[in-house]
């Protein structure tokens, strides 16, 4: 069928029944419009404030448009004249005041509750939103070792709003397709699933910039996008996050899209739509020109490299020369896929945050102990501080001291019940970098970065950080 489909109700809490109804209604036409009853017209049945109920409906991927209404639903339908009005099966056989109006203009009234395929989706969402203890007792021991008090931590966070940050790197959009497992195929040994929900998130360097803006900094983001719908989505989301995005269009490549198909809280398959060749010389020159336009106001330059072509070595070197000449704090992360990537190409920066695997790929050192690995990377890059990320084991810290010596410590993982580890490194990178740029010690910066990572892995999807998220954890 085609046309506009209309659904209305209070929608206090979006439960599986609502999701089934929305899915069914969306499949009835080209566009699903949902009317949410205002507090006044909803009366005692409206248990949640209208703004929150509207936000809940707007977040559902099946809904194209939603709004509050404050009049009898029959009057509203008479004005909108949707092609199809869908109501739950429980209303069939009862009094439906809108039926006469719909019949008069030639619309269709359909009763259905949809198919019951949302139980796994509901469980995933509940699990992702559940409050869990994050900061372990080991964090207190770390703070005590380095004589870090709560006042020093709070002061570091307060200074975030004074920063002007520039992030450059590969823009990525992460798409999570939540599926319900139907069973095993009879033709071949393949699990058969049906998609029930799709959510998109800023990823790559884009979410690093969104994190910085959410933490309070004035944030510029320089990158490259394709001339496509995914790039348009990215621009819209960056604007919502308060990021000053300058995305140059490269018509020869798509905006990088990474899809994760998930079921039962686990990822079944990943599909990446991307080109990995370097951007051409003209685009490199334009990126450098955009940086020179804002460099005088910047405090921090962050390289967020995913090795998808946005940061050729010549461009990196040119950025580094200009940033050093202005005395900017500089940090870098270079994510490696298999054996591709080299974090050691970022020389003379204030902070590097590679994983153990990324450091070993860069140094071709599979046998070195962790401290030796970190020191070799420091000596090669002349980086002032290195956070060697160890996944579920936390991180090894290798920092410069007051007299040129280097000190090493470990910080434990601060969230022992992670939901989605995909965004941990991005949140650690930007939060630790901002703390350094704001004048904090590397030990304070590493702690705040680890807290940010703990927050981020406690939820599904790369949701941009807010300063309130850190504050909530630091209060525990």
CATH number at residue 163: 3.40.1190.20
177 lies in a domain? no
- pLDDT tens figures, 403-442: 668 899 999 888 887 887 888 999 999 999 999 999 999 9
Q: What is the pTM of this model?
A: 0.72
Domain identity same for 110 and 224: no
Domain identity same for 9 and 64: yes
Domain identity same for 299 and 409: yes
230-239 per-residue burial string, b: 16 or more CB within 10 A, e: under 16? bbebbbebbe
What does the alpha-carbon distance between residue 329 and residue 84 come to, in Å, rounded to a whole number?
A: 58
- pLDDT tens figures, 317-375: 999 999 999 999 999 999 876 556 789 999 999 999 999 999 998 998 777 888 889 99
Domain identity same for 148 and 55: no
Pick 206 or 14 by higher pLDDT: 206
What does the alpha-carbon distance between residue 111 and residue 86 come to, in Å, rounded to a whole number?
A: 6
Above 80 in pLDDT, residue 97? yes
124 lies in a domain? no
Domain identity same for 138 and 250: yes
CATH number at residue 19: 3.40.50.620
Structural domain boundaries enclosing 60: 4-116
- How buried is 250 (Cβ within 10 angstroms: 0-12 exposed, 13-18 middle, 19+ buried)? buried
Above 90 in pLDDT, residue 305? yes
- pLDDT recorded at residue 41: 82
What does the alpha-carbon distance between residue 142 and residue 320 come to, in Å, rounded to a whole number?
A: 33
Domain identity same for 139 and 64: no
- pLDDT recorded at residue 265: 74
Sign of the C-alpha dihedral computed for residues 198, 199, 202 and 203 taken in this order: negative
The answer to which of 118-122, 222-226, 370-374 has the lowest mean pLDDT is: 118-122
Sequence-separated (6 or more) residues with CB below 8 Å from residue 269: 260, 261
Work out the pLDDT band at 92, boundaries 50, 70, 90.
confident
Determine phi and psi for 401, rounding to 5 degrees. -95, -170
- pLDDT recorded at residue 129: 44
Q: Are 437 and 384 in contact (CB under 8 A)?
A: no
The percent of residues above 70 in pLDDT, for the chain, comes to 92
Consecutive H or E run containing 323:
helix 313-325
Number of residues that make up the chain: 476
Domain identity same for 346 and 418: yes
Above 80 in pLDDT, residue 138? no
279-295 per-residue burial string, b: 16 or more CB within 10 A, e: under 16? beeebbeebbebbeeeb
17 lies in a domain? yes
CA 147 to chain centroid, in Å, comes to 33
Mean pLDDT of all residues in 157-175: 96
Q: To the nearest whole number, what is the mean pLDDT of the chain?
A: 88
Domain identity same for 430 and 371: yes
- How buried is 26 (Cβ within 10 angstroms: 0-12 exposed, 13-18 middle, 19+ buried)? buried
Q: Are 2 and 29 in contact (CB under 8 A)?
A: yes
Domain identity same for 432 and 343: yes
Q: Are 2 and 30 in contact (CB under 8 A)?
A: yes
Domain identity same for 338 and 219: yes
What 3-state class would DSSP assign to 58? helix
321 lies in a domain? yes
The DSSP string of 168-224 is EE-EEEEEEEEEEEEEE-SSSS-EEEEEEEEEEEEEHHHHHHHHHHHTT-EEEEEEE
Q: Which two tokens stand for residue 406?
A: 């280097």
Domain identity same for 238 and 104: no
Pick 162 or 195 by higher pLDDT: 162
The DSSP string of 84-106 is EEEE-GGGTTS--THHHHHHHHT
**Residue 51: other Cβ atoms inside 10 A:** 11
Sequence-separated (6 or more) residues with CB below 8 Å from residue 160: 215, 216, 217, 434, 438, 467
- pLDDT recorded at residue 135: 61
Q: Please count the structural domains in the chain.
A: 2
The DSSP string of 159-183 is GGGG-EEEEEE-EEEEEEEEEEEEE
300 lies in a domain? yes
185 lies in a domain? no
- pLDDT recorded at residue 23: 85
211 lies in a domain? yes
SS3 of 264-307: the string is CCEEEEEEEECCCCCCCHHHHHHHHHHHHHHHHHCCEEEEEECC
183 lies in a domain? no
Work out the pLDDT band at 114, boundaries 50, 70, 90.
low
- pLDDT tens figures, 245-258: 999 999 999 999 99
- pLDDT recorded at residue 101: 94
- How buried is 88 (Cβ within 10 angstroms: 0-12 exposed, 13-18 middle, 19+ buried)? middle
Domain identity same for 137 and 86: no
Above 80 in pLDDT, residue 31? yes
Consecutive H or E run containing 34:
strand 31-37
Q: Which two tokens stand for residue 73?
A: 């639903």
- pLDDT tens figures, 447-476: 999 999 999 988 877 889 999 989 888 875
Q: Are 172 and 306 in contact (CB under 8 A)?
A: yes
> What are residue 8's DSSP bridge partners?
35
């Amino acid at each position: 069928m085609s046309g506009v489909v209309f659904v209305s109700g209070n929608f206090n809490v979006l439960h599986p029944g609502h999701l089934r109804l929305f899915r069914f209604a969306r499949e009835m036409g080209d566009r699903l419009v949902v009317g949410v009853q205002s507090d006044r017209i909803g009366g005692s049945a409206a248990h949640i404030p209208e703004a929150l109920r509207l936000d809940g409906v707007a977040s559902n991927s099946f809904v194209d448009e939603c709004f509050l209404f404050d009049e009898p639903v029959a009057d509203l339908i008479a004005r909108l004249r949707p092609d199809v009005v869908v109501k739950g099966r429980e209303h069939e056989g009862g009094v439906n005041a809108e039926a006469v109006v719909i019949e008069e203009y030639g619309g269709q009234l359909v009763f259905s509750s949809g198919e019951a395929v949302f139980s796994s989706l509901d469980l995933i969402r509940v699990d992702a939103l559940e409050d869990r203890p994050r900061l372990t007792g080991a964090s207190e021991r770390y703070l005590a070792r380095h004589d870090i008090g709560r006042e020093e931590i709070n002061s570091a966070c307060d200074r975030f709003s004074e920063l002007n940050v520039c992030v450059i790197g590969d823009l990525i959009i992460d798409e999570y397709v939540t599926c319900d497992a139907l069973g095993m195929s009879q033709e071949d040994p393949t699990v058969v699933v049906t998609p029930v929900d799709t959510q998109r998130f800023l990823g790559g360097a884009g979410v690093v910039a969104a994190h910085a803006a959410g933490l309070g900094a004035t944030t510029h983001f320089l990158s490259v996008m394709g001339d496509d719908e995914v790039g348009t989505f990215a621009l819209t989301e960056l604007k919502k996050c308060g990021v000053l995005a300058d995305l140059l269009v490269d018509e020869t490549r798509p905006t990088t899209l990474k899809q994760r198909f998930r079921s039962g809280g686990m990822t079944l398959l990943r599909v990446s739509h991307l080109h990995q060749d370097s951007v051409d010389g003209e685009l490199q020159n334009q990126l450098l020109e955009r940086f020179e336009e804002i460099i005088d106001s910047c405090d921090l330059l962050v390289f967020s490299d995913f090795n998808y072509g946005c940061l050729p070595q010549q461009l990196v070197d040119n950025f580094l020369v200009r940033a050093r000449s202005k005395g900017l704090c500089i940090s870098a992360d270079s994510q490696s896929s298999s054996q591709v990537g080299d974090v050691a190409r970022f020389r003379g920066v204030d902070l590097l945050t590679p994983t153990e695997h990324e450091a070993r790929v860069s140094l071709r050192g599979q046998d070195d102990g962790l401290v030796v690995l970190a020191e070799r990377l420091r000596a090669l890059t002349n980086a002032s501080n290195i956070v060697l990320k160890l996944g579920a084991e936390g991180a090894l810290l290798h920092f410069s001291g007051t007299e040129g010596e280097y000190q090493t410590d470990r910080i434990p993982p601060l969230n022992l019940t992670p939901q989605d580890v995909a965004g941990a490194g991005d949140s650690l990178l930007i939060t630790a970098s901002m703390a350094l740029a704001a004048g904090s010690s590397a030990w304070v910066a590493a702690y705040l970065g680890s807290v940010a990572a703990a927050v981020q892995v406690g939820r599904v999807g790369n949701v941009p950080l807010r300063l309130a998220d850190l504050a909530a954890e630091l209060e525990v």
